[in-house]
Every structure is written in structure tokens, then in C-alpha cells.
Structure 1
Amino acid sequence: MYLCVLDHIHQMFEGMGVPLWLTMLGRLVFPIFLFLAADSFHYTHDRLAYLRRHGNVCLMNNAFSTFFIIGIYICSWDLLAKGLRDKSYKELIQGLGLFLFPILSSIPIVVLAGILETPHANPIVVQIVAFILSLVPSILIAEGSFMMVILGLLFYIFRTNRMAQIIVLAVISVIAYLFDPTTVQ
């Protein structure tokens, strides 16, 4: 948590000359939080209650949105795996539906975000749209981008193989850096 605070201090006071090393230390935290979220999701006895805990906050651009979406994908993964194992079309369809939900929920976000870009938009409409956007679990607005959602899911999938988790972390870190070096978590 202390490292997370250092990252936030850098973000808030960067213009005042706060050193870059504060955010560099702070960026170590998010993958650790993702690992803990994926691991705790495996051990929870009530996954729905676990997801609801993250639903008590706005889901836009914070770590909880990412945890929530990872939880959805973990449920999807488990349903797909069980459906394949048991040859259950019902579970396969449910797993596929859960997998597509954060992707399809991005469509209204893209459309509604266009309203926010309108130069003469009514401020009340903008506030309503912003509120609606904060409630929609979308892979587009998850903190750390979809790469961190993938990382959290892969932490879950490889939870019994620490070496695979380390390799996944390294590979995703390199990919995230290559796409946008300023947002590497």
C-alpha cells in the first residue's frame, strides 16, 4: 500500500517536480494486487458476493473495475473448462456469454462517450452519461487496459504454477511497455 501511495503522490504532484522513481516503485503494486485478487477469487466460497463487493464503487478507471472484470473472466474460464470437460453445452454457452459481456458492454460506452465529446452538450446530460459509464463493466475503461485484465486471468489460470505466472508477468510487462511505455503497471 505504501508503494501505491508513492505512485499516487507522483501522479498528483508530477508538475511540481516530484521524482519519477516514486511512480516506478508504485508501478510494482498493481500486478501484486492482480495476483492477490485472482488467488483470493479462487478461494472465496461465494463468487457472487466477491463480485458484488467490487460493485459498491464506480467501475470506471480504478483498480476495482479491473478486479471486477477479471472476476467475470475467471467465472467464464471456469464455465468454459467445465463445459468442455462435462460436454455441457449450457455451461459452454454461459461461459461464452460471460466472456463476451465486458466486450459487448463497451459498445454503449463508445456510443455514449460520443455524447461527452459534443461541443454544446447539456451539462446535466453529460453528468448522467458519465454516471452511466461509471456503472458499466467495460474492458475499454479498466485500469491498466485490457492487458492487466489478461494478466489477472492468467494469474488465475496458472495459479498452481508459479514459474508460469512469472513468465506471464514478464511477457505481459514487455508487451505493455512496447505498446505504451508510459502506462506500464
Structure 2
Amino acid sequence: MKEKGLTGFQLKIIGLLLMIFDHISEFFSFTGAIPLAFKWVGRIVAPIFIFMTIEGYIHTRSKKKYMLRLFAASTLMNIGNYLIPNYFQRTDSFGLMNNIFATLFMITVYLCIIDFIAKGIKEKSIIRIFIGVLLFLLPIALSILFITNIENLLYLILVIPSPLFVEGGPIFVGIGIILYLLRGDKKKQLIAYIAICVAFIFTGEISIHGLFIDNYQWMMIFATPLLYLYNGKKGKGMKYLFYVFYPAHIYIFYIISCYVMSK
């Protein structure tokens, strides 16, 4: 009997397909031939992978291995982002900064800290709670400490992702934390998520131009039906598909854009 709803694998495939449109817009918008709608559909992608990272963290057999895998992917992509522009250069000021792995890893770090604090609360351990709060603030404090020295900051980001400077910044990390805290209650999860998306509307000019041209991040809201349809099943395997496809298509698009721009 066919399962109702969408499996995790199906959600990821949808995310990967929509990601292609988003990155075509990112790397080739200079041509003037890419519809803005490519960016609109791209707003759906990050929430899908944030949601699935939380599911992965909850259900993985080894949280340590899961986090190390994301950290390794983040580090390798940071190295790629640094090296590839040395061999393929665009004629504009475009910087190769894509690395959602760093964001997802940072989210799992905070989920681990939340679990640590929750255990302290359950055990009524003031010391454990205090240590947990310090750990929660530590990544932010390190970012602020290094922000005055750009060389140290770049080194920090290259080696250790920062919640302030990862792709999507504190907003994406915050979404991950909120969805995790509300795990087990999809209704509350989605209501909170919708509220965050709606809040983006008020960060810019509330007009047709403002909502659809200048400030369209609120369109993350259209990920809601997909998250609602998630049936809790893993689906097919291929857990390394995302780890390979994401950097591969980023670098292919970037290299092609270099050649297109040079002509």
C-alpha cells in the first residue's frame, strides 16, 4: 500500500529541484534573462533542509556521526569556496559564499546544547543548566570577539561555523531551534513557522513592489504545505545525494558563469 504524504527522501528531492532554479538565478542573473520567479521558488528550499536536518538529528543512530558529517561537508565546502575562485574568476565582485552545510551543522550544535540544558532541568542540576547556557552563548561570543579582526574572523568562519555568519544567519539557526523545540506537535511547529514567515513581511515596504521585488523572503511560507505533508517516513536511502549534489551543482554553475561572463 502506498504511503500517504511525502517521505523525507521525496521532500529532499523537491528541495534539490527547487534549489537548481534558485542558484541559476544567483549565478546567471547578470545576463538579465533569468525570471525573478526563480528566486521566489528558491525561498522554499532552506526551510525544507532545515526541517529534514532536525528530523535526521532526532532519528539518527549516532548524533555524533551525523554532526561530524555535516561539519566535514561544511569544512570541505569552505575550502572549495576559497580555492575555486583562484582558478576561475568572474569579472564582477561576486563572492562564492554558498554553504548551507555550515548552517545545518550550527543548528545541530544548538540542538545538542538544548538537549544538554533539558537534561539539566530534568535532573535539577543548576551547574549543568549554567554550563548549557554558557555553551549556547559561546559561538556568538566568539563571533563578536573576532569581528574586529577580519583575518581572524575569516579563519574562524573557515574552520568553525558561526551562527552570525552562516548562510541565513541567526534567522535560519533560530528557525531550526524553534522547530526542534516544538517537535512532536506539527500543528504548533507550522503555526510558529508561518508566524516567522509573516514577520518578514514587516521588515520592508508593504507594497506590491516591496513584497515581490525587494523583500520576498516571506515566501518561505510556501514550504508549509510540503512540511505538513511530511509523513515521518525516511523513504529511499541515498543519504549522500545531498552532500554530493549541493556542492557539485554550485561549482558547476559558478564555473559556467565565469565563462559566460568573460564572453
For the aligned pair, the TM-score class normalised by the smaller chain equals: 0.7 to 0.9
Match of 1:30?
Answer: 46
Cα pair 1:69 1:149 within 8 Å, conserved = yes
Question: Which residues of structure 1 form unaligned runs of 5+?
Answer: 114-125
Task: Determine which structure has more spread, i.e. the larger CA radius of gyration.
Answer: 2
Match of 1:118?
Answer: none
2:144 to 107, 131, 140: 107
Q: C-alpha deviations, 1:25-59, integer Å up to 9, x for none?
A: 12101101100001111112322222111221336
2:69 to 53, 63, 70: 53
Match of 1:165?
Answer: 189
After the TM superposition, which segments of 4 or more aligned residues of structure 1 sit over 4 Å from their partners? 182-185
The CA distance in 2 between the partners of 1:69 and 1:129, in whole Å, is: 16
Structure 2 residue identity aligned to 1:94: I
1:148 to 164, 172, 176: 172
Structure 2 residue identity aligned to 1:37: T
1:101 deviation in Å?
Answer: 2.1
The CA distance in 2 between the partners of 1:174 and 1:102, in whole Å, is: 28
Higher relative contact order (CA closer than 8 Å, sequence separation 6+): 2
1:61 deviation in Å?
Answer: 5.3
Structure 2 residue identity aligned to 1:96: V
TM-score, with normalisation over the residues of structure 2?
0.60
1:91 to 124, 128, 133: 128
The CA distance in 2 between the partners of 1:94 and 1:39, in whole Å, is: 26
Residue 5, structure 1, aligned to residue 48, structure 2: no
Question: Which residues of structure 2 form unaligned runs of 5+?
Answer: 1-15, 79-96, 205-214, 221-263
Match of 1:67?
Answer: 104
Number of aligned residues: 172
